[in-house]
């Protein structure tokens, strides 16, 4: 479980690291909010492109070797981000980082689904996602803190060093898979992906994933520009500290299993979406404590929604589990890519209230999908956990 947690931690340590630095990068590169947001969207787009292939390859080659090799390779583009001499090169190396992340986290989720008993898989997935949320916080916080002391290149070099240490630890600690049964070949795994796309409940779950990350990226990308401007005028360190709100995900995801057992997936997610919307409305108040509270509520609800959806895919898929998770990851990160770019159009005209409005519409769409497509789980029956 330590190795599983480290895999989640290092993935999200790197994934959203530039978010606290976006106003600083916009100033240094003379770029707009939409342009520098590509340092986030390029990574999520690369993840969406490669995720199904990472899952298919792992269904053939095995789990540990894919996870360990990708973590070690991730060190290189992470260091090269620090050496970028312009926004274009930074976006390029961030894209390369994204290509290496699905072989870590998509395959780790599949590993959990196979190597742990079904009753424990949801809890272990919660531990994995708690470590992921802590990594997401620390990546943003460290880059904001270190950028003021060392400049943004020093911040990214520090992330490369942490990534190397975690990669070596996972290589040493993660046991070889024992329950894995390889697919006959990539073509067989591709056919399994097509079968997954014919499963209405899985497709609905993929749509939920799209909406969850759209909401996360839109919220935590554009709130940085909002808080960096007057009257708040927060520094990079202060913007990084805002992401302490992500730590609510560490605690809430650990309670995912209990929530599913008590309410069932459908009811639990619908309740969370209502609370999530209320948290976003809090951020419209002209008060920094209210904005922070709203972000904390949003993060906590979002991580549990993600844990429920991810756990569903990992536990209920009987064949081609990596391919099924890979497809989920693709939809999830396509949502993140769109969430980094589309709200920028609204931002230029209506600012933060416009960004919140488009996010609330997305949450409403998720609620409709869950209400209609997850009907069979309304009672939280054991067969669907």
Report the distance separating Cα 85 and Cα 319, nearest Å: 46
In a domain, 272, yes or no: yes
Which residues does the chain have with pLDDT short of 70? 55-56, 59-60, 118-119, 122, 179-190, 254, 314-316, 318-322, 376-385
pLDDT of amino acid 385: 39
CATH assignment of the domain containing 371: 1.20.1250.20
CB 259 within 8 A of CB 268: yes
Report the distance separating Cα 340 and Cα 54, nearest Å: 23
pLDDT of amino acid 252: 77
At 18, which helix (H) or strand (E)? none
3-state secondary structure of 377: helix
User: Which candidate, 84, 112, 97, places its Cα nearest to that of 5?
Assistant: 112
User: Which candidate, 126, 129, 135, 128, places its Cα nearest to that of 162?
Assistant: 135
**Cα of 104 vs its chain's centroid, Å:** 12
DSSP letter for each residue of 133-153: HHHHHHHHHHHHHHHHHHHHH
User: Which candidate, 331, 295, 102, places its Cα nearest to that of 211?
Assistant: 331
Task: Look at the pTM and tell me if it is higher than 0.85.
Answer: no
Based on the structure, what is the number of domains in the chain?
1
Look up residue 284 and give its DSSP letter. Answer: T
In a domain, 58, yes or no: yes
CB 304 within 8 A of CB 259: yes
List the alpha helices (DSSP H) in 186-320: 186-197, 200-228, 236-242, 248-254, 256-263, 265-282, 288-316
pLDDT of amino acid 303: 85
Report the distance separating Cα 153 and Cα 133, nearest Å: 24
Structural domain span for residue 200: 2-175+185-384
User: Which candidate, 274, 261, 268, places its Cα nearest to that of 309?
Assistant: 268
CB 208 within 8 A of CB 366: yes
Phi-psi region of 233 (alpha: psi -120 to 50; beta: other; left: phi over 0): left
In a domain, 180, yes or no: no
54: which 2 tokens?
């990472």
Report the distance separating Cα 237 and Cα 230, nearest Å: 16
C-alpha distances out from residue 15 to 46, 188, 193, 373, Å:
11, 31, 25, 30
Distance in Å from the first CA to the final CA of the chain: 21
C-alpha distances out from residue 140 to 20, 32, 50, 155, 353, Å:
6, 20, 24, 10, 24
Phi-psi region of 382 (alpha: psi -120 to 50; beta: other; left: phi over 0): alpha
């Amino acid at each position: 479980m330590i190795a599983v947690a480290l895999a989640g931690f290092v993935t999200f340590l790197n994934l959203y690291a530039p978010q606290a630095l976006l106003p600083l990068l916009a100033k240094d590169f003379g770029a707009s909010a939409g342009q520098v947001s590509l340092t986030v969207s390029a990574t999520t787009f690369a993840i969406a492109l490669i995720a199904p292939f990472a899952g298919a390859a792992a269904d053939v080659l095995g789990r540990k070797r894919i996870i360990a090799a990708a973590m070690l390779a991730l060190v290189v583009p992470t260091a090269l981000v620090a050496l970028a001499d312009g926004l274009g090169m930074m976006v390029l190396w961030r894209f390369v980082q994204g290509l290496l992340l699905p072989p870590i986290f998509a395959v780790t989720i599949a590993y959990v689904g196979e190597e742990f008993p079904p009753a424990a898989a949801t809890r272990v997935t919660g531990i994995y996602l708690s470590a992921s949320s802590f990594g997401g916080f620390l990546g943003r916080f460290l880059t904001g803190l270190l950028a003021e002391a060392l400049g943004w290149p020093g911040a990214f070099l520090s992330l490369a060093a942490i990534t190397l240490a975690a990669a070596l630890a996972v290589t040493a600690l993660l046991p070889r898979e024992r329950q894995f049964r390889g697919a006959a070949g990539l073509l067989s795994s591709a056919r399994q992906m097509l079968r997954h796309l014919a499963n209405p409940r899985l497709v609905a779950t993929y749509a939920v994933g799209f909406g969850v990350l759209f909401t996360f990226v839109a919220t935590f990308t554009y709130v940085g520009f909002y808080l960096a401007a007057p009257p708040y005028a927060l520094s990079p360190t202060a913007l990084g500290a805002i992401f302490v709100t992500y730590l609510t995900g560490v605690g809430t995801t650990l309670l995912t299993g209990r929530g599913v057992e008590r309410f069932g997936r459908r009811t639990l997610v619908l309740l969370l979406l209502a609370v999530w919307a209320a948290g976003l409305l809090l951020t419209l108040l002209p008060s920094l404590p209210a904005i922070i509270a709203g972000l904390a509520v949003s993060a906590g609800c979002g991580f549990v929604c993600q844990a429920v959806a991810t756990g569903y895919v990992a536990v209920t898929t009987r064949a081609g589990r990596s391919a099924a998770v890979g497809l989920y990851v693709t939809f999830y990160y396509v949502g993140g890519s769109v969430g980094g770019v589309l709200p920028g159009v609204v931002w230029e005209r209506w600012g933060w209230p416009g960004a919140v409005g488009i996010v609330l519409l997305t949450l409403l769409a998720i609620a409709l999908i869950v209400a209609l497509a997850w009907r069979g789980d309304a009672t939280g029956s054991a067969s669907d956990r």
